């Protein structure tokens, strides 16, 4: 949600459906990973996959441990704080095609 909020501030949003979460991941990682470490591609991908695994339970999927959950909470807080910081510091502008 923090990642999508950054795109929304730019007047952008991912369409729904297959691959939309990966699209958000790619766009936000490319733009903000250097200032919001939680959006570094490997970190973002890990948290996205863990969220998907938790939301769409697969009995054959990997077990999510207490440590995994604690890491995800910490990373999500860091992402939200980073998004807030970027948006408050005027680090965003509306995306427009030229």
pLDDT of 16 strictly over 80: no
CA distance 56 to 61: 10
pLDDT of 5 strictly over 70: yes
Q: What is the pLDDT of residues 46-97, one digit of tens each?
A: 988 888 888 888 788 788 999 999 999 999 999 999 999 998 887 677 776 5
pTM of the model: 0.81
CA distance 33 to 51: 19
CA distance 3 to 86: 11
């Amino acid at each position: 949600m923090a990642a999508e909020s950054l795109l929304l501030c730019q007047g952008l949003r991912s369409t729904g459906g297959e691959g939309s979460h990966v699209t958000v991941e790619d766009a936000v990682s490319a733009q903000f990973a250097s200032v919001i470490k939680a959006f570094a591609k490997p970190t973002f991908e890990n948290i996205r996959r863990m969220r998907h695994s938790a939301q769409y339970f697969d009995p054959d999927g990997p077990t999510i441990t207490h440590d995994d959950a604690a890491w995800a909470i910490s990373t999500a807080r860091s992402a939200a704080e980073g998004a807030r910081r970027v948006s408050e510091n005027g680090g965003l502008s509306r995306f427009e095609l030229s």
